[in-house]
Amino acid sequence: MLDRINKAQDVIDAACETLGRRINIMEVCGTHTVSIFRSGIRSILPDNLKLLSGPGCPVCVTDQGYIDAVLRLADRDDCLIATYGDMIRVPGKNGSLETKQAKANIRIVLSSEDALQLAKDNPDKTVVFIAVGFETTAPATAVVVKEAAAETIYNFCILSGHKLVVPAMRALLSEKNHNINAFLCPGHVSAIIGYGAFAGIVEDFCRPCVVAGFEPVQIIEGLCEICRQLSAGKAELKSIYSAVVTEKGNIAAQQIVNECFEPADGYWRGLGKIKKSTLKLKDKYSRFDAFRRFGVSEEPSEEIKGCRCGEVLCGLIEPTECGLFGRDCTPQEPVGPCMVSSEGACAAWFKYGREKRRKR
């Protein structure tokens, strides 16, 4: 393994020296973010190569307005909230699910199937599944919606907060002062949507897009491929995660998502409204749509004073440049989206890289 790393490092070093300017590569996957921090990859890269942690953590980019809708449902005695663990600490306007947990109508589930089972086990309550995640978790949500419809389990519904990665990447590149030179594309999402889904970004914005796996060596090889392209003045689409990712992706998963959901405009924490970037249940499944069933809506959140998550997500600043970081905004009491989940850029920075590196 060290051989492969050394080889890739040599290419990266040479490319960065040739280029001579600052290179910004953005990863848009929370698992990449955590792996990069945990394995200390930043510490072995040349100084002019910066890794930016983009909007890759679905929990982090879930808007405050969505959380407020969840909290309103959590206050109802006839509802049981089924949520992935990461959502527990995400702040809304007045608290989080963690601070409401004493009420005991909030259950942490590990899968959408667990949420549906909860509905079967509690026929006197309406189970609301907090369906968040990118293209990776959307198929699992679609499966249980179809199951609930087929088995007429009408005390089950979902609050869809599902988001799509590609529209967000396009939105970032459409910002006037963005400084993203290339994308390290997400492995899991690509397994579903296929690496071909990034072709438009390469064509329209002339930015290299390389899909890589999550092992440190795979990430370094992905960075190596990007550096090779940049130093040759090229922008190409490439997957180096061929064991898992194909060009067309998982067609069956795409079909079931398309059957249940349609793209809709939606709000992203830190990025605002992005066109056709979220998944909304189609009309034929409206019975399972908690927004419609309970008449709740996702109000756009007010801007959080002093929070610079938008700039962090766009790669314009590093987390430590935000005035709230580590003082008013910590993993215990997150203010901005990037501090919310362990996969958020600020949280990972806080956990694994906050202090100044000690010099020998």
Of 277-316, binders to another protein (CB under 8 A) are: none
User: Which among 288, 296, 261, 284 is positioned nearest to 76, based on CA atoms?
Assistant: 296
Q: How far is the CB of 356 from another protein (least distance, A)?
A: 6
Of 194-213, binders to another protein (CB under 8 A) are: none
Tokens of residue 313, six digits: 């997500």
Candidates 43, 47, 295, 302: give the one binding another protein (CB under 8 A). Answer: 43
Cβ neighbours, 10 Å, residue 286: 13
User: Which among 102, 98, 300, 137 is positioned nearest to 129, based on CA atoms?
Assistant: 137
Cβ atoms of 204 and 169 within 8 Å: the answer is no
Selected range binding another protein among 121-129, 177-185, 239-247, 335-343, rule: CB under 8 A: 335-343
Q: Compute CA distances 45 → 40, 48, 180, 214, 233, whole Å.
A: 10, 8, 17, 17, 20
181 lies in the site for another protein, by CB under 8 A? no
Q: How far is the CB of 86 from another protein (least distance, A)?
A: 5
Nearer to another protein, 40 or 300 (CB): 40
136 lies in the site for another protein, by CB under 8 A? yes
Cβ neighbours, 10 Å, residue 321: 11
Candidates 28, 34, 185, 257: give the one binding another protein (CB under 8 A). Answer: 34
Burial of 145 (0-12, 13-18, 19+ CB in 10 A): buried
Nearer to another protein, 277 or 341 (CB): 341
Candidates 51, 81, 88, 212: give the one binding another protein (CB under 8 A). Answer: 88
∠ CA 233-239-244, rounded to 5°: 170
Nearer to another protein, 11 or 217 (CB): 217
DSSP for 337-355, please give it.
GGGTSTTSHHHHHHHHH-S
Nearer to another protein, 152 or 332 (CB): 332
CA–CA separation, 163 and 277 (whole Å): 6
Amino acid at 241: Y
Nearer to another protein, 24 or 330 (CB): 330
84 lies in the site for another protein, by CB under 8 A? yes
160 lies in the site for another protein, by CB under 8 A? no
CA–CA separation, 346 and 325 (whole Å): 8
Nearer to another protein, 235 or 240 (CB): 240
At residue 221, the 3 state secondary structure works out as helix
The total number of residues written for the chain in this structure: 360
Nearer to another protein, 207 or 269 (CB): 269
Could you give the residue ranges of the DSSP H alpha helices within the chain?
A: 2-19, 30-38, 64-74, 97-100, 112-121, 138-150, 165-174, 187-193, 199-205, 216-231, 251-260, 290-294, 309-313, 345-353
Of 207-246, binders to another protein (CB under 8 A) are: 216-217, 220
Q: How far is the CB of 161 from another protein (least distance, A)?
A: 11
Selected range binding another protein among 78-86, 248-256, 267-275, 280-288, rule: CB under 8 A: 78-86
Candidates 3, 47, 110, 302: give the one binding another protein (CB under 8 A). Answer: 110
Q: Using DSSP bridges, classify how beta strands 79-83 and 126-133 pair: parallel, antiparallel or unpaired.
A: parallel
Candidates 85, 123, 272, 306: give the one binding another protein (CB under 8 A). Answer: 85
Selected range binding another protein among 225-233, 282-290, 291-299, 330-338, rule: CB under 8 A: 330-338
351 lies in the site for another protein, by CB under 8 A? yes
323 lies in the site for another protein, by CB under 8 A? no
Q: Compute CA distances 312 → 42, 56, 248, 263, whole Å.
A: 17, 12, 31, 26
Q: How far is the CB of 221 from another protein (least distance, A)?
A: 12
Residues interacting with another protein, by CB under 8 A?
1-2, 5, 29-31, 34, 37-44, 57-59, 84-89, 98-99, 101-102, 107-110, 114, 132-134, 136-137, 188, 216-217, 220, 326-328, 330-333, 341-343, 350-359
